[in-house]
Structure 1
Amino acid sequence: QTVKCDVADMICCVIVTVIINVVLLSVCVVAGNSKEVCRTPGCIKKANTILRNIDSSVDHCQDFYRFACGGFLNRTIVPEDRHMWTTTSELELRVFRRIAEEFNSTLTTIAQHRYFRLAHNFYRSCMNLDAIEDKGLEPMKEKLEHLGGWPVLDHYGIWDEDDFDWVNTTVLLMEVGWSSDMLVDLCIGTDARNTSRNRLQISQADLGIPREYLIQGLTNDIVQTYFELMVEVAVEFGAPLKFAMEELSDALMFEIELAKISVPQEEMRDHFRLNNPMSLIELEEHFPQVNWSVLITGSLQKYVIVSPEEVVDVVVPSYFQQLGLLVGRVDKRVVANYIIWHVMYESLPFLPKSVSNIRRKLMVALTGAKKFKPRWEFCLSNLLDRFEPVVGVVYVRKYFKPEAKKQATQMVKVIKQEFLKLLSNVSWLSKEARNTAIKKASSIDHHVGYPDELLDDKELDKYYEKMEMNSEDLLENVLSGQQFESFRAFSELHRPFNRTRWDLHAEVAEVNAYYVSDQNCIEIPAGILQDIFYSPDRPNYLNFGALGSVIAHELLHSVDDEGKQYDSKGNLRNWWDESTHREFEKRANQIVSEYSNYVIPEVNLTLKGVNIQGEVIADHGGMKVAYSAYHSWASHHAEEPGLPHLEQFSADQLFWLSTANSWCTKERMESIRFGVAVDVHPPPKFRINGPFRHSSLFVHDWKCPASSYMNARNKYNVW
């Protein structure tokens, strides 16, 4: 568990830890120059963190991740309600607790505003377990009847397939507020080739569990557990066990067939192949088995009028070529059971314990977490999903210091300049491609901390003027929230896309960062501008190592294998000449091949190099840019002090340690397997050892010999 210390306590923690570590550290690392030592609270806290996380018995030139994080890994026990615990988990939990305190308080200064009352009502309805239990299952049963019923509950043969049409049911789901992506995922985004306007998109189904599991069928343990969940829920709602097993076995086999016709992740990285604009008329000509006119115009009739000439981006045509045929050869009863099961699956967390607790077995199989998170945390997560701007304003107004926004913005500018220098010096770029890359990088917008509109109460009240929430009915609130989100999204269809809209940048309480390709911008939320990532009262080699690496990573996404397909305005456009494209592919393929050979011994699995290449390219280039940015900043400032009891490390070495410390992670085996199957990020160990061993800068600073693992013979980097 993470130790919480005030300044005096932290000094004691450091002294105790040093007794164990300092002798070993002094012999395993070449000492840095003698210098002044920083003793601010930020320095003491960071020094304590580094000292506690280090495992001095590990050779830093053989496994730097274990060297930097071994102490953390050795002492950390993953809480029963988590699938992993990281060095940022305590920060994330602290942010959540602070927000929860505001929603549990009647004294908050913004309580009189409508936007806060709406969010507060949602939170109260979620925390009101007595009301949820008192209502029981009857409200959900009534909603199922409104949708035409769940055939698995009709063992008397009353359900009539002549009354069922999956297209009409999908339209009804959208109208009521359920997700409607069980067969077709209908959404809105920018026109990929002209981001000044919005466009409808259709993509493949959103499946109950990842495709990678489903295509293995019932021989896969997770698929078997998923099936057991389906049956147990149906039985709890009144279906006889044997009948439920028969009915839902067919529904599961249908979902498995949907998984098989779906396109895997590795085939969805070429965005030109995913961009297939067609009018509604053309859609019906290409895929005549689906009544697209009813599906799309009906789903959107509450929000916007859609004509037959409306253009829709078809993301995966091959899926829709097979979807109509698949649905056509399956009994309507099977399709109805599948669709309504997904309505149930989506609703389970908001129902009484007798049903919602059935999810636990699948959660254990997928992630290894043994318990659900505390109710307050579950409710706050759902509040964040539906009231992100409100959660943001609650956090920012009380806990975020404006100086951090200003200082982080300056850091972004320094890092961006180094990114431009990097692009200017890449030898394999043609002159034309280099100029275009520099233009794109120069155009990257940055949103740091929070949008100013978040401090405007009138603006927030206006934003939520069409939403209603009560404090007694959680399920109704969930549906109302989804209806509101659909209204906000689809009513924009025929309006120009406005990338300056403040609500596009309202994810301010998250401990994360993003690059948005169609806006060519990076998001650095307020939540990450603190603690292990950033503090104004400590040397900048720590801040550039932790936060700077994150910022640079996001900038590098603009020229990873997916980001490079977009121009400076976020439009999908091929601006690469053939020879430059070949050079990029050669380097990217080296990384794919390298990482595809990395093995996770705990689960005996290799990484999927194709799926993670974008993150790896950004990791490799991002650390190089962040390092150069620190040196650029340092060249205009006095030498920075060292850290207490870490004087043997140079500023450059502490840069690398600061970077590594933000990735220390203890993870359950089930979660690791899940990540390998579906995550586009490599496991944390490989996010440190991978880029570091391919960096001549790291090798130089840590004096790793040519024979050591952390000094790769062939160093692969795209940028």
Structure 2
Amino acid sequence: MDNYAYQPDDNGKPFAITRYPSVPRPANDYLVEVNSRSKFLKKPKFFKILSAVLIAVIILLLIVIIILTVQYYDKTYLSRICTSEECLKSAANLKLSLDSSTNPCDDFYQYTCGRWSKEHPNHGWFPTFSTFATISEQILLSTEEFLTSEETNDEPSPVTQARNFYKSCMDEDALDDLGLSVIFKYLKEVDLPSVPSFLTKSDDEIAEFHFDWLKSDAVIKKTFAMDVLIGFVVDSNMLNQSENAMYIGVPGLRCPLPSPFKKTGGDKSESAPDIDDLRRITNGNIIKFVLSTLYRNVTSKELKEDVLEQASDVLLNMTFEIDSLVANFSSESNDLQSQIVKDFQTRINEILRSDIKKDYPQILEKYLGFLFTGTNVTIDFDNDFFLLSQNDVDYLPRILSYVLTSSDIYLELYMWWVTVFAMIINTSSEIVEYIVKQTAPFYTGTAVLRSRSLDCSALVNSFMGMAVSYGLADRTFSNKTKPKVEQMLYDIKSAFMEHVKTISWMDQKTRTATLEKSKEMISFIGYPDWLLDKGALEIYYQGITLANNTYLDNMMSFIKLYVPSKLEVFRKINERNWSTDPLSVNAFNSFTNNAINLPMAILAFPIYHLGLEVLNYGAMGSILGHELTHGFDNEGRKHDKFGNYKEWWTHETIDTFEAKIECFVKQYDNFTLAGVEGHVQGKKTLGENIADNGGLRHAYWAYRKYVDRNGHEPKLPGFENFTDNQLFFIAFGSIWCETISPDDLESQIEYDEHSPNKIRVIGSLQNSKEFAQAFQCPVGSRMNPNTNKCQVW
């Protein structure tokens, strides 16, 4: 009879039955007859010696084989550990952040980032110190080094201009010498007096005073690129991205000049005064200081105290009333409508006559006339139109009612103050020191100020980012880094599209359109192709004239070109193009271009160049996935593959989608943070939370595609016991490590559309089956709750 036995596989597990023929049982080899033993013992001495030598040789050979085998396996083992400089840096960085005493299934953020704050102390340059801030810090230091380095003969003129710009910012003596004269120069340019008429006119003169506030609003906008009472911009037509449109309504454009109020929040302790009272006191002090200083400079006299107090009260009240009005109409508004200029003008006047028994004939025609004077564009009031949200439609009659019932002397005072305040922080050291001291209560975190050299470096970068990028750009980027990032994005997009094909809540029509939009989504990675072309860079900065000792004038050279250049593209055809500087440590999805923007600055350690692709996909890949998913979140889904704002999903799919995303709203509404009042706002942070969750999932499956193509990667030194899936999630968590004060967290929860970093990590991973499997988190643990996991993408 035949015998059967289990043949084990490579893992020692039986997988097949092998058939063997019947054979006689062999004798026991170790059983030897007694006669045989005695014969051996009687052999000559020579044979005994020979046998001993042979045994010694065999033992020696065995030892050599064992040594060689051990050496071979040591080399094989070592070859499975990445020892590159990038891997060693990544291993050290992660080790300095990980809190191994925390169970990753209890609090993965603490597990990944528990030691980050201790090992990465904030030296005060950033109110919140994070992984992203470490990159910004390095960019700032590199910018300073570049701007202070020796000029070369072959560098393009914009680079020389950037160095001169930096020198003008650093020349504090020149600022003190210029004093307030530069402010008076720009007041004159916008037809405003050196000191407001409220301070110089008699009561009789005030009664007869007339001020053209509408012209002043338009002129200030063209000169300082800021909205005062009326918001206006020419931008791509959201309903047809190939052309431009006019938008009018709620102010949204702030002056690009540096502001003394870099941060709000302040001391929120129980002993601190009410923040609104503190802000009013601070603003009042600054107003009175600036008014009295400029009045003294112009008239060589001291301003009467009662006049000063009255002017301060008027400005405080007007600022509060106008800011409140703007805030009431600044909430998110999804609707969009087009209105012919003349028709909308008629509609506004009908409302004004009804509300205040006044009107302003041809107000919009006059306003546009002031704005477009000096450009190559003529507005056709009978055919050109505005694009407006309902907030814009409601705001304009309200602000016009306010203005038409206000005194002209008050309106001039307000316009004067807004203009002066935009410039005042950029003048003499005396004024700067006073304002910094007054605004100190509004700063949170450490009170360490950056050196002026770093502030000037940041300023030059903000105004001349392309010129600075020319100097800092890696010349090998296009050949080395960019193709790898493009492949990563391709993998993520492929993972997303494969997922879309399996979605059950989406009908076929919407699915097809979603896949088409994904295919049409383009990317801008690193820096524009023309950046390293000297001639192209000089064309980009054409028209800019800079000196090395006129700091405010240098900034104004850029600002004064901004609005006219935007106005002049009104009739031009739009093309999808770069919309950020390469040195921005950020990434974003441009809905109107259906494009992902990934500047070169963010492609830096510790977010990229991490040595292993599992780390790159976990860190940078999750960011790319986040931006891709944004194109299909609660706002991105309203833009089609061309970027046009339209309804391109079926009503049934929209209803299902809206129902499913409520899961995220409820989940994030329940998140609170120790020592911080309130809870995360699930509705306000919805779009970002959808992008976080979807982006992480698609980055994970994109990495699995990488492994399928290339096989498993070597181990990270010090992390040999971790699987690649575990390392992926550790890399994801590590990019959100930060040091942040409770005050800043409260402000973030109240105002920011992003969830706090800790919640971004925990919320996304609670919904990740792949994470729970990687760390074997039991159902019911905090990181793998016994609830339905939220998912749409």
1:129-155: CA deviations, max 9, x gaps? 111111112321343355323766853
Q: How big is the shift at 1:184?
A: 1.5
Q: Paired residue for 1:530, among 587, 593, 604?
A: 604
Q: How big is the shift at 1:453?
A: 0.9
Give matches, 1:380-399, under 5 Å. 380-396=457-473
Structure with greater Cα Rg: 2
Indicate yes or no: 2:395 matched with 1:348.
Answer: no
Q: How big is the shift at 1:488?
A: 2.8
Give matches, 1:110-129, under 5 Å. 110-111=154-155, 113-129=156-172
Indicate yes or no: 2:502 matched with 1:444.
Answer: no
Q: How big is the shift at 1:72?
A: 0.8
Q: How big is the shift at 1:645?
A: 1.3
- Flag the 1:359–1:609 CA change in 2: closer, same or farther, 3 A: farther
Give matches, 1:131-530, under 5 Å. 131-146=174-189, 147-149=191-193, 154-157=198-201, 160=206, 162-175=209-222, 177-206=223-252, 219=276, 221-222=278-279, 224-238=281-295, 243-262=307-326, 267-268=331-332, 270=334, 273=335, 275-288=336-349, 289=359, 291-303=363-375, 304-308=377-381, 309-315=383-389, 316-357=392-433, 358-359=435-436, 361-362=438-439, 364-368=441-445, 370-396=447-473, 400=477, 402-500=479-577, 504-505=578-579, 507-530=581-604
Cα distance between partner residues in 2 of 1:110 and 1:97: 24
Corresponding letter in the other structure for 1:136: G
Q: Is residue 516–residue 522 contact of structure 1 (8 Å, CA) maintained in 2?
A: yes
Q: How big is the shift at 1:349?
A: 3.3
Indicate yes or no: 2:147 matched with 1:103.
Answer: yes
- Flag the 1:575–1:603 CA change in 2: closer, same or farther, 3 A: same
**Aligned-partner SS, 1:189:** strand
Corresponding letter in the other structure for 2:641: S
Cα distance between partner residues in 1 of 2:714 and 2:306: 71
Q: How big is the shift at 1:512?
A: 1.3
After the TM superposition, which of the residue ranges 668-677 and 654-663 deviates more from structure 2? Answer: 668-677
1:209-228: CA deviations, max 9, x gaps? 89999xx9984544554444
Q: Is residue 78–residue 666 contact of structure 1 (8 Å, CA) maintained in 2?
A: yes
Q: How big is the shift at 1:651?
A: 0.8
Corresponding letter in the other structure for 1:472: N
Long gaps (5+) in structure 1: 1-32
Indicate yes or no: 2:629 matched with 1:583.
Answer: no
Indicate yes or no: 2:138 matched with 1:94.
Answer: yes
**Aligned-partner SS, 1:50:** helix
After the TM superposition, which of the residue ranges 186-195 and 121-130 deviates more from structure 2? Answer: 121-130
**Aligned-partner SS, 1:312:** strand
Cα distance between partner residues in 2 of 1:564 and 1:89: 31
Q: Is residue 595–residue 608 contact of structure 1 (8 Å, CA) maintained in 2?
A: yes
Map of 1:617 onto structure 2: 690
Q: Paired residue for 1:640, among 713, 720, 726?
A: 713
Q: How big is the shift at 1:79?
A: 2.2
Cα distance between partner residues in 2 of 1:265 and 1:392: 38
1:450-496: CA deviations, max 9, x gaps? 11111211112122222222222111122211122223322111111
Corresponding letter in the other structure for 1:132: L
**Aligned-partner SS, 1:479:** helix
Q: Which runs of 4+ in 1 moved over 6 A?
A: 207-213
After the TM superposition, which of the residue ranges 543-552 and 323-332 deviates more from structure 2? Answer: 323-332
Cα distance between partner residues in 1 of 2:502 and 2:481: 32
Indicate yes or no: 2:750 matched with 1:677.
Answer: yes
TM-score normalised per structure 2:
0.80
- Flag the 1:255–1:283 CA change in 2: closer, same or farther, 3 A: farther
**Aligned-partner SS, 1:599:** coil
Corresponding letter in the other structure for 2:588: Y
Q: How big is the shift at 1:520?
A: 0.2
Q: Is residue 210–residue 409 contact of structure 2 (8 Å, CA) maintained in 1?
A: no
**Aligned-partner SS, 2:501:** helix
Q: How big is the shift at 1:531?
A: 0.9
- Flag the 1:367–1:333 CA change in 2: closer, same or farther, 3 A: farther
Q: How big is the shift at 1:564?
A: 0.5
Cα distance between partner residues in 1 of 2:79 and 2:760: 31
Q: How big is the shift at 1:363?
A: 5.7
Paired residues, what number? 677
Corresponding letter in the other structure for 1:699: A
After the TM superposition, which of the residue ranges 115-124 and 222-231 deviates more from structure 2? Answer: 222-231
**Aligned-partner SS, 1:677:** helix
**Aligned-partner SS, 1:635:** helix
Indicate yes or no: 2:640 matched with 1:567.
Answer: yes
**Aligned-partner SS, 1:524:** strand
Residue identity over aligned pairs, in percent, reads 23
Q: Is residue 514–residue 523 contact of structure 1 (8 Å, CA) maintained in 2?
A: yes
Long gaps (5+) in structure 2: 1-76, 266-272, 296-302, 350-358
Q: How big is the shift at 1:338?
A: 2.8
Q: Is residue 389–residue 506 contact of structure 1 (8 Å, CA) maintained in 2?
A: no
- Flag the 1:386–1:93 CA change in 2: closer, same or farther, 3 A: same
**Aligned-partner SS, 2:555:** helix
Indicate yes or no: 2:738 matched with 1:665.
Answer: yes
**Aligned-partner SS, 2:113:** helix
- Flag the 1:247–1:211 CA change in 2: closer, same or farther, 3 A: farther
Indicate yes or no: 2:125 matched with 1:81.
Answer: yes
Map of 1:700 onto structure 2: 773
Q: How big is the shift at 1:262?
A: 3.2
Map of 2:23 onto structure 1: none
- Flag the 1:108–1:593 CA change in 2: closer, same or farther, 3 A: farther
Cα distance between partner residues in 2 of 1:154 and 1:94: 48
Corresponding letter in the other structure for 1:312: F
Cα distance between partner residues in 1 of 2:221 and 2:692: 39
Q: Is residue 231–residue 241 contact of structure 1 (8 Å, CA) maintained in 2?
A: no
Corresponding letter in the other structure for 1:251: L
Q: How big is the shift at 1:268?
A: 1.1
- Flag the 1:210–1:471 CA change in 2: closer, same or farther, 3 A: closer
- Flag the 1:79–1:445 CA change in 2: closer, same or farther, 3 A: same
Cα distance between partner residues in 1 of 2:83 and 2:432: 50
**Aligned-partner SS, 2:425:** helix
1:401-427: CA deviations, max 9, x gaps? 741112111111111111111222221
Corresponding letter in the other structure for 1:411: M
Q: Is residue 264–residue 443 contact of structure 2 (8 Å, CA) maintained in 1?
A: no
Q: Is residue 360–residue 370 contact of structure 1 (8 Å, CA) maintained in 2?
A: no
Cα distance between partner residues in 2 of 1:352 and 1:699: 59
- Flag the 1:595–1:634 CA change in 2: closer, same or farther, 3 A: same
Corresponding letter in the other structure for 2:325: I
Corresponding letter in the other structure for 1:293: E
Cα distance between partner residues in 1 of 2:396 and 2:748: 28
1:535-572: CA deviations, max 9, x gaps? 17x21110000000011100001001111100000001
Map of 1:23 onto structure 2: none
**Aligned-partner SS, 1:646:** coil
Cα distance between partner residues in 1 of 2:86 and 2:262: 42
Map of 2:624 onto structure 1: 551
Q: Is residue 360–residue 372 contact of structure 1 (8 Å, CA) maintained in 2?
A: no
**Aligned-partner SS, 1:648:** coil
- Flag the 1:242–1:78 CA change in 2: closer, same or farther, 3 A: farther
Corresponding letter in the other structure for 1:418: A
Q: How big is the shift at 1:76?
A: 4.1
Map of 2:83 onto structure 1: 39
Q: Is residue 50–residue 661 contact of structure 1 (8 Å, CA) maintained in 2?
A: yes
